[in-house]
Amino acid sequence: MKPYLTKAFPNLETEGCHETSPASEKYNCIAWAAGQQNQWWWPYQHPAYFWPEGVNRVVTLDAFFQAFASIGYHQCETGNLEVGFEKVAIYALDGEPTHAARQLSDGTWTSKLGKDIDISHTLPVLEGSTYGQVVAYLKRALGADQAESK
């Protein structure tokens, strides 16, 4: 495990993770959780940065819920694997969203770490002082992304 990773995410020491893509400044965790690899999603108050149309550009959980609602997600109780659904977990630090992870079909999770690499992991691996804790789960029916784009 790369030392700079375990420094930021100490839980990696015990739980580990798998690197799945190289570092890229082209997309971030929110875009990756939303299924995008060519955009940087963040509610920054500048038109250069992507944020779904009509959703407030503020760093609040509600704004993030609305952003994911625009692509078919709604809140759910747990991150347990549910047949027919895909899920997103939202991490927050001091009440502000910091990170999102997307569930894979085997129940593990995939994350883009800022401008760094993509990994597959368990949710607790990324909890700590960098991203805070998982505070919410969202889900949508599998295939809802195609339905949204029709």
Partner 1 sequence: MTHKLALEVPNEIYAPLADTAKRTGATPEELAVKWLAAAAAPAGEAAERPDIEPHFRELVRQWKEATRFVSSTHVMVSHPAYLAIIGMGKAALPLLIDELRREPDHWFIALEAITGTNPIPASVRGNVDEMTKAWLAWAEQHGL
Tell whether residue 99 is a contact of partner 1 (CB under 8 A): yes
Burial of 50 (0-12, 13-18, 19+ CB in 10 A): buried
Of the residues 1, 16, 18, 26, which one makes contact with partner 1 according to CB under 8 A: 26
Placement of tokens 């509610």 in the chain: 43
Identity of the residue, 18 or 44, whose beta carbon is nearer to partner 1 in the bound complex: 44
Strand order through the sheet with 74-76:
18-21, 118-121, 109-112, 96-103, 85-93, 133-141, 74-76
Tell whether residue 42 is a contact of partner 1 (CB under 8 A): yes
Placement of tokens 């992870």 in the chain: 101
Tell whether residue 69 is a contact of partner 1 (CB under 8 A): no
Tell whether residue 2 is a contact of partner 1 (CB under 8 A): no
Q: Which residues bind partner 1 (CB under 8 A)?
A: 4, 8, 25-31, 38-42, 44-51, 57, 59, 98-99, 112-116, 130-131
